[in-house]
Amino acid sequence: MNYLACPKCHEPLQRIDKTYQCVNHHNYDISKRGYVNLLLNPDKAHNNPGDSKESLIARKAFLDQGYYDPILFECTNYIKAHSSQPLQILDLGCGEGYYTYRAKQELGNENTYYGLDISKEAINMATRYDKDIIWMVGNSKNIPVCDHSMDVIMALFTVVNKEELARCLKEDGYIIHVTANRNHLIEIKHLIYDEVKVKSDEHIRLPFNVLESYDFTKKISIPSHEDALNLLKMTPHYYHIKKEKRGILDTLPSLDVTIDLRITVYRP
């Protein structure tokens, strides 16, 4: 059973053949790729919101190599230790779907998995991993699931809305929030910026009960130019490279980079 909800009226959606429909007769067709578009026009700033196709392709190519699997394992190990299956698990801002897919591999088929991203291109790519995951195009400010229906919400490197998180989670549910610390990918920052500025992370902390919070730091080796370039392309830093620094893209060497994250588990 799934707990999809209509983004217009928030009534539960029922699947009828190749369409989802609510009691108010709002209909949403399931695409040939198997996802459902639940993104309303008022919930998007322009026609193609979300990450660019170039960034998504680079992200998929990089993540498929397993470099960031240690981050995923931090999330799935917590779920294994603190929750009993079956679970309703939502990957918020899932992008091209790698973490959602790998979470299912780690946690098993007993759970129901949802992947939500505002980018239609990202969700279209995600369906190639696993068609049994419920893939949705939607906005994190209007999450199309029923009230208090999710056991776990994973939010890795994505924008969240605290009101929606509180609405969607069960009373004993929790969110695993992964955010970048100041030294995350510091080696790349030094390559492309004249001055590395330190930003406060105060605005990304959530006003919820903290079940667990810790820093996760790890060095990873990226042996090839192609993989290093894909890592750069999947970050916002790629779009901030000054003209005089563009030559780095052709000469980017193999790298040892720092993963520096804050992993916080919240319960509203």
Say if residue 116 is exposed, middle or buried (CB neighbours under 10 Å; 0-12, 13-18, 19+): buried
d(C-alpha 76, C-alpha 56), whole Å: 23
Which residues lie closer than 8 Å to 133 by C-beta, 6 or more apart? 97, 100, 101, 104, 113, 114, 115, 126
184 is in an annotated binding site: yes
> Parallel, antiparallel, or unpaired: how do β-strands 134-137 and 112-117 relate?
parallel
6 is in an annotated binding site: yes
214 is in an annotated binding site: no
Joined tokens for residue 154: 């994973």
9 is in an annotated binding site: yes
Joined tokens for residue 258: 């720092």
Annotated binding residues for S-adenosyl-L-methionine, as ranges? Answer: 68, 96-97, 184
Q: Residues forming the annotated binding site for Zn(2+)?
A: 6, 9, 22, 26
Which residues fall in the annotated binding site?
6, 9, 22, 26, 68, 96-97, 184
